[in-house]
Amino acid sequence: MLLFVIFCPIVAAILIMAGAPARKTALVASMLTLAITLFLLGSLQGWQRDYQYVTSFSISPEWHLSFTTGLDGLSMVMVLLAAIVTLAAVWFTGKIDRYENAFYGCLLLISGGAIGAFASIDLFFFYAFHELALIPTFLLIGIWGSGNKTAAAWKITIYLAVGSFILLLGLILLYQSVPVASRSFDIRALKAAAGQISPDAQRHIYLLLLIGFGILISLFPFHTWAPEAYASAPAPAAMLHAGVLKKFGLYGLLRLAIPLLPEGARHWTDVLVALLLGNIIYVGLVTIAQKRLDWMLGYSSVMHMGYVFLGIASANILGVTGATALMFAHGLSIALLFAIAGEIRKRTGTLLLDDLGGLAKVMPFAGLAFGLGAFAAIGLPGFANFAGEIMILFGAFKNGWEMERFHLFQIATVLGLWGVVISTVYMLRAYRKTFMGTLAERWKDLIDLRPILRAPVALLVGALLCYGFFPQSFVRIITPAFRPYLSANK
Amino acid sequence: MITAPLLEIAVLILGMVILMFEAFATKIDRRLLAFAGILGLTAVLVASFFVARNSFTNQTAGFWSFYTADSLSIFFKQFALLTTILVLIMMIDYAPVVENSVAAGKLRSVLGEFFAVPIFTCAGLMYMASAIDFIFIFVSLELVTISLYVLVSFTRHNPATLEAGAKYLVLSALSTAFLVYGITWLFGVTGQTNLQRITESLANTGIDRTAALFGMVLVLVALGFKIAAVPFQIWVPDVYQGAPTPVTAYLSVGSKAAGFVVLLRVLRPFLMLPETHRLLVLIAILTLIYGNLAALPQGNLKRLLAYSSIAHAGYLLIGVVCLDGRAVIFYLTAYLLMTLLSFAVLVIVSQQTGDRISDFDGLGKRSPFLAFAMLIAMVSLAGVPFTAGFLGKFFIFYAAVAQRQIALLVVGVITVGCGFYYYLKVVRAMYWQSTDKIDKIPISALSRFAMSALILAIIGLGVYPQPILDALKR
């Protein structure tokens, strides 16, 4: 079942490249993927902390390398996110002028790579599946992108390539840091041997992982590739990359750093907090200054990564669960925003905030959808983002709390709260400039989203609201993954 | 049971028979000779899987004191055979260019040699893989080099080719001189030419270490020339660009692989000396930096591949420094597959348009198959997972992390980033740029088959590397 979820997009991509009708095949494949993911979610035994649906094929017994896949609560949530966003992205892809088959093929390869990475228990394939998305992203931005697409495509590709090779060094070091007898690429086996990793090695590995993953996640100051790439990428690619693929790095930190490298994480906490404040405050202010909607969204997605990092850095169940929740919620909301922005670009040919205005009059549904996405991104109660952010902020505030004294985390939390204000400023400002105000004469004839395109919007918003109103249903399946490693309340 | 020396004898006989046909059977189509060569080499390749291995090298005299049939040498014999078969397939595609470059009257007497000489090179490479004595290394190296002199300047009416041939001849002769001089020094110090016995003598404290080191450095110069390591890489770009494309492929794969096998064997006695180690680290770093940085601005694909071959020599040297033979060999295998694939595409495309990168514009539309083959070759050269090239880099970096070679790792990661740029430049040309040429590019069935096999092998080894790892363990 799980193998089907992983390989369905990849096989569909190969079929499409080989000449199958592009849009139909892609839609059927992504619907099937989502349906089976939901089925897996339904039958997941959430209270268990072991992996479920495990299948394993040995690749190299000598290296203890095997193709092993399985899901626990954490990866289940990520796979669900990937499946939802894939379907929405494929749905939003309209008619493509040239190489239509290749476009859908690339999209599905990204999606298959992301799902494969989330579902892999083996470190090697965890890494390799993520890289599967690298070349399709390059092609998507390069062939079908807009604006300064050449520079953007080079930037993202080279950044991510270097980042992932740094990550690879970290993973190799991790593999080598356990005694020869228990060396394995299997995360479960590594967890069993985690106690044998010396604190010194943990610090080195964590630093490599932090830089490697940090580049992939666009941690300040490695974030400069992200806004440019998302602004240039075609909307479906931006949806998948910002919504799903970027979560891979965060997922990797949650999956590896917390169980395996507690000492390393402790050692680098201060640095991480300083950098994530760079994400929240500095990038937040940069976001306010943006004059184009797509750049604004790109920067905002970088900024929100800061909150997820805060949750990871807080190192307690509440914060980490909140980080997972926010990853899920942010993936959905940013995908929604990029999708609407893409639709606007398709109709107007511009995303300069000064050129737009009053679009809600002619495109009421797009205005509603963008508004919902913007509110979700700000963290309005009722949306999943709120649940995530509040857990993160509470979790972070509790870390190292003493009466009458503010420590690093308390200061970071207060600044993080200011970040919420910053994000309110830029989101509402962008919303006002795009959809409110006077409608320019030349936009009079714009048509709203066709009814068929309202379904994916409903899918994304529905998932956001569903999770926002019943966060507990997700929290219940996420927490068992962390419970053995983190105190509930520190 | 077949013994290993029979393989080389078979290859040599095959080469001579083809030359005889060339000389006396003037009526037949020359391409038949190439097919005969391919078939013959394939037969030898199949036979090589049934060869008895023996790794005893302690025999004091006679044939087995300079010839070994251990699993490393058998593996490289297969490697050389496979390379030569693929190069011959490329040569068939390239034949029209050779025909055009010589006067029409002499045509018959030329093409057959073009197909026969690589078979002798192949025999030389196979001998080199088995050589464990300096004299034998020298002799087999000469067999390889002299046949390559002929091949490099084969289309000698083209001035660029002539220049390439002259450069290769002069510099290669110079490096051979270094090799002989180095061997003399080593013989003077240890009184031995057999590698095993040199190792034993060096362990002896009574020897003059400075003199031995000097000899080793001279040998290293010669081998550095073969593998195109900085600072002995000067000849590479011009020769690669000027030589006929299949010969360039042969140079960059066969010659380099043989160089690395010899390097692995020769260095084993010397790596105990810390000076050697430091020297090699330095050479590796310089090679990585030079190869990758110089490749960045190249606009000619053949030249780009020349610099990339220098860059890959750098990664291979990381493996050599860490003395991880299996990593080196896996990398070489991956390198063989992806380099030959890219050259195979280049041979076909360059006859239609040219060998600049901009000549690949719009290839994705003109010939989706060729573009896809090139895409796989390029992403594998760059090191994207699920290709053999990535696993090669993985094993190399694994060895370097295990030995904490921090400087090499830092340089390695940065240069990988450079690599992504210049390899993807080709991908960009094929898919982003548009062209006004829309005619399809014809591909012969044999080339299509060979390219498909290479693509499958690249992806297959990228997911399941065990066969290669097993082949070396036996």
ipTM of the complex: 0.88
Q: Which residue has the higher pLDDT, B418 or B354?
A: B418
The pLDDT mean for chain B works out to 86
Number of A/B CB contacts below 8 angstroms equals 78
pLDDT for residue A149: 85
Structural contact between residues A25 and A15, judged by C-beta atoms closer than 8 angstroms? yes
* Ranges B322-331, B393-402, B465-474: which has the least confidence: B465-474
User: Is B369 an 8 Å CB contact of chain A?
Assistant: no
Q: Which residue has the higher pLDDT, B365 or B12?
A: B12
Helix, strand, coil percent content, chain B, rounded in steps of 5: 80, 0, 20
Using CB atoms, pick whichever of A157, A162, A172 lies closest to residue B424.
Answer: A157
Provide the chain B residues 451-470 that lie in CB contact (below 8 A) with chain A. 463-466, 469
User: Is A300 an 8 Å CB contact of chain B?
Assistant: no
Average pLDDT over residues A323-350: 88
pLDDT for residue B474: 54
Q: Which residue has the higher pLDDT, A111 or A179?
A: A111
Structural contact between residues A150 and A218, judged by C-beta atoms closer than 8 angstroms? no
Which one of B408, B413, B418 would you mutate to disrupt binding with A, by most A Cβ within 10 Å of its Cβ? B413
Using CB atoms, pick whichever of B379, B402, B409 lies closest to residue A176.
Answer: B402
Token code pair at residue B154: 């084969």
Token code pair at residue A310: 């805060």
| Share of residues in chain B with pLDDT > 90 (%) | 35
The CA distances from residue A194 to A15, A65, A251, A262, A267, in Å, are 42, 18, 18, 10, 17
Average pLDDT over residues A419-435: 89
Q: How confident is the model at residue A54 (pLDDT cuts 50, 70, 90)?
A: confident
pTM of the model: 0.90
pLDDT for residue A402: 66
Average pLDDT over residues A336-343: 89
Q: What is the pLDDT of residues A91-142, one digit of tens each?
A: 888 777 778 888 888 889 999 999 999 999 888 899 999 888 888 898 888 8
pLDDT for residue A489: 47
Region of B450 on the Ramachandran plot (φ > 0 left; ψ -120 to 50 alpha; else beta) = alpha
Residue from A15, A16, A181, A186 nearest A93 by CA: A16
* Ranges A236-250, A339-353, B335-349: which has the least confidence: A339-353
Token code pair at residue B27: 């009526």
pLDDT for residue B290: 92
pLDDT for residue B473: 67
Tokens 């000899």 correspond to B215
The pLDDT mean for chain A works out to 86
Q: Which of A474-483, B63-72, B121-130 is modeled with the greatest confidence?
A: B121-130
Q: Which residue of B has its CA nearest to A167?
A: B413
Using CB atoms, pick whichever of A60, A99, A154 lies closest to residue B421.
Answer: A154
pLDDT for residue B85: 93
User: Is B13 an 8 Å CB contact of chain A?
Assistant: no
Structural contact between residues B41 and B14, judged by C-beta atoms closer than 8 angstroms? yes
pLDDT for residue B119: 93
Using CB atoms, pick whichever of A129, A142, A169 lies closest to residue B397.
Answer: A169
Average pLDDT over residues A376-401: 85
Residue from A94, A351, A102, A119 nearest A244 by CA: A119
Distance of CA A335 to the CA centre of its chain: 10
User: Is A14 an 8 Å CB contact of chain B?
Assistant: no
> B327 to chain A, minimum CA–CA distance in Å?
13
User: Is B364 an 8 Å CB contact of chain A?
Assistant: yes
Q: What is the pLDDT of residues B73-120, one digit of tens each?
A: 888 899 899 999 999 999 988 888 887 776 555 555 577 888 889 999
> B462 to chain A, minimum CA–CA distance in Å?
10
Domain positions in chain B are 295-474
**pLDDT for residue B54 is more than 70:** no
pLDDT for residue B326: 85
| Share of residues in chain B with pLDDT > 70 (%) | 95
Structural contact between residues A399 and A489, judged by C-beta atoms closer than 8 angstroms? no
pLDDT for residue A490: 42
Query: Are A168 and B394 within 8 A, CB to CB?
Result: yes
**What CA–CA distance (Å, rounded) separates B38 from B308?**
28
Contacting residues for B32 by C-beta, under 8 A, at least 6 apart: none
